[in-house]
Chains A and B, each alone.
Chain A
């Protein structure tokens, strides 16, 4: 936090000038920026919510998978010059396979033990981070924006890449919804979540179902990491900055609802954008965290929870 005296002086000065100038253009800009950030947050949280919602596994390695995805983007797109779309697909596939490996060797031994999965995935996250440090070295790596045009709509601007991120985000969401709700595998996933023993009795290999679910979550994380790589530089510490927001998002949205995640992404990012526009970014984070705490107090299961018996 800023020093109280320093802060007070600042507040006084803004009061004298009649506050930070606010106008329609700025509000419009903040809402548009907030919406873009919401899609980015949705994309980066999808994998987490799937693994948490369908498997009851708190995957602390999620943000490190984002980091790994970003490195894949750097090596595939910036170094090997593979087209961006193919890079994204490859990032998903590699992360999916990595997820399979992790699930088969580690996670599968810990189902039903929340605390143990926490520890196990935390250990995996540390290993991933240190491996990245050893393998990829200590330097900032940059991925150029695949498209760099800036679109102006009246006084409001949008970077074209942000629009592409929104599109990737929507595609990932729709793809996942179709996968879960319209395919046979998706039906198996849902039935395993509802009643594992019964599903087993019906001759469905729930172990295979678990592997696919976990791997899909990790795959989405890798895809998201690759997609956000151009927004910043790629380093082994990239995961850290996403930890708070992605977990807060999942908690607020409710772990068993993808629509909850969509809604909470918007609530969180639009409020942060608008509040930091009016006051400052630290105030924005504080207020949003407070609101999340209050909502969780009233609705401990998150904003959207499936109706019916639990």
Chain B
């Protein structure tokens, strides 16, 4: 009996070793496929936002595979959930690199998770395509950024609001690095323009009761018009819009926010009407590429979901396509150095219009857009920059 147990143990060990070596041989997929990793919060605090990101990634992969794949090779993918937690992000990214042997990774949304994962990418030399607008940083050598940065967003937003809405600004934000940075940039810009910051306030992210802040806004702004520059996260953001409208103040003052997107506006209905948003992509963009993207998305995930596709969803779709183009240029020589080098200057006719990767800093050239939320929850573009803008992530 003892002998038998030992034999089984030896056999198991051998099998495992064989399997492990077999795994080593297949870096980045087999001879007829290329393996990439997707990492999104399928659960956790930002799962609502990241749903359209994950769906868009899967959609893009299916489309590429249906069109014949990359140089005849299909894209295989593994999905990991990081649950809006930086530590989990580190763990699952390591798993994808070491166990699944992916050639590249697409995903992550929060800045905290990106920063946490960067050392892992450097250690194992695996590229990450990061598909989110964010506050900007010194570009990492292993990251391609397919969202816009503040010089493609806020630099146009504040002057537009100053010209078209009011010279008074009440700044409001969730107590995070992102909102703080964005509001500080806005404050500097408002001063430069000669506008007035009548209030500046941060609230913690679990605040969903805004009657005191609304009272304060009403008292400080009085009968002058005012832009409420409110960069509030998730549930806190929706609570503010709802209660602001319920207090009957939406006729007097105008909310403008980076956080406003189609997932918010379609849910909030009339409470978000006539507020401003700013990002490089709106669901309502009237182009063939966008129609094709949204109808494919609608067919796969349902029309209601297609109406809530946001800029980060579109940026993820672009991320997968750009990655596939880079992999295509690699031919049979898929190495991290080649993948990263091939991104420089890559263009893609994205739903938002043609975007190009800037070889200097791994970010994309894109247009700046400002949108006005309509009563039906769509966001209509009211301003669009004439040309694509060079990304300046460290500005």
CA distance A150 to B175 in the complex (A): 30
* A139 x B212 contact (CB < 8 A): no
With both chains docked as a complex, state the minimum distance between the C-beta of A187 and any C-beta of chain B, in angstroms: 37
* A150 x B180 contact (CB < 8 A): no
Which chain B residue lies CB-closest to A37? Answer: B209
Residues of B contacting A23 with CB < 8 Å? 219
* B212 x A241 contact (CB < 8 A): no
* B219 x A25 contact (CB < 8 A): yes
Whether A2 contacts B267 in the complex (CB less than 8 A), given A138-B47, A237-B45, comes out as no
* A276 x B216 contact (CB < 8 A): yes
Does more than half of chain B's interface fall in helix, strand or loop, or is it mixed? helix
* A3 x B269 contact (CB < 8 A): no
Whether A36 contacts B211 in the complex (CB less than 8 A), given A150-B246, A230-B242, A233-B242, comes out as yes
Tell me the chain B residues, 198-222 only, with Cβ under 8 Å from chain A.
199-204, 206-209, 211-216, 218-220
With both chains docked as a complex, state the minimum distance between the C-beta of A5 and any C-beta of chain B, in angstroms: 10
* B242 x A142 contact (CB < 8 A): yes
* B202 x A2 contact (CB < 8 A): yes
* B201 x A280 contact (CB < 8 A): yes
Residues of A contacting B207 with CB < 8 Å? 241, 281
Residues of B contacting A13 with CB < 8 Å? 197
Which of A26-34, A176-184, A256-264 forms contacts with chain B?
Answer: A26-34
CA distance A242 to B263 in the complex (A): 23
* A237 x B215 contact (CB < 8 A): no
For the complex, is B64 an interface residue (Cβ under 8 Å from A)? no
Mask, B162-190, CB within 8 Å of A = 1, is 00000000000001000010001000000
Which of B126-134, B136-144, B231-239 forms contacts with chain A?
Answer: B231-239
Which chain A residue lies CB-closest to B47? Answer: A138
CA distance A107 to B216 in the complex (A): 45
For the complex, is A231 an interface residue (Cβ under 8 Å from B)? yes
Residues of B contacting A244 with CB < 8 Å? 206
Whether A235 contacts B206 in the complex (CB less than 8 A), given A26-B219, A29-B218, A277-B215, comes out as no
With both chains docked as a complex, state the minimum distance between the C-beta of A249 and any C-beta of chain B, in angstroms: 13
Does more than half of chain A's interface fall in helix, strand or loop, or is it mixed? helix
* B239 x A233 contact (CB < 8 A): yes
* B235 x A33 contact (CB < 8 A): no
Residues of B contacting A26 with CB < 8 Å? 215-216, 219
Residues of A contacting B199 with CB < 8 Å? 20
CA distance A284 to B203 in the complex (A): 10
Whether A130 contacts B234 in the complex (CB less than 8 A), given A3-B180, A150-B248, comes out as no
Residues of A contacting B218 with CB < 8 Å? 29, 157
Which chain B residue lies CB-closest to A145? Answer: B246
Whether A231 contacts B208 in the complex (CB less than 8 A), given A26-B219, A29-B215, A237-B45, comes out as yes
* B51 x A148 contact (CB < 8 A): no
Which chain A residue lies CB-closest to B304? Answer: A139
Residues of A contacting B308 with CB < 8 Å? 139
Whether A159 contacts B267 in the complex (CB less than 8 A), given A2-B175, A230-B242, A237-B234, comes out as no
* A10 x B206 contact (CB < 8 A): no
CA distance A284 to B207 in the complex (A): 12
Name A residues whose Cβ lies closer than 8 Å to a Cβ of B: 1-3, 6, 10, 13, 20-21, 23, 25-26, 29-30, 33-34, 36-37, 40, 130, 133, 138-142, 144-145, 148, 150, 157, 159, 161-162, 230-233, 235, 237-238, 240-244, 272-274, 276-277, 280-282, 284-285
Name B residues whose Cβ lies closer than 8 Å to a Cβ of A: 43, 45, 47-48, 51, 175, 180, 184, 197, 199-204, 206-209, 211-216, 218-220, 234-236, 238-239, 242-243, 246-248, 263-264, 267-269, 271, 308
The 9 closest A-B pairs by CB, nearest first: A140-B267, A33-B211, A232-B239, A233-B238, A26-B219, A241-B206, A29-B215, A150-B248, A273-B212
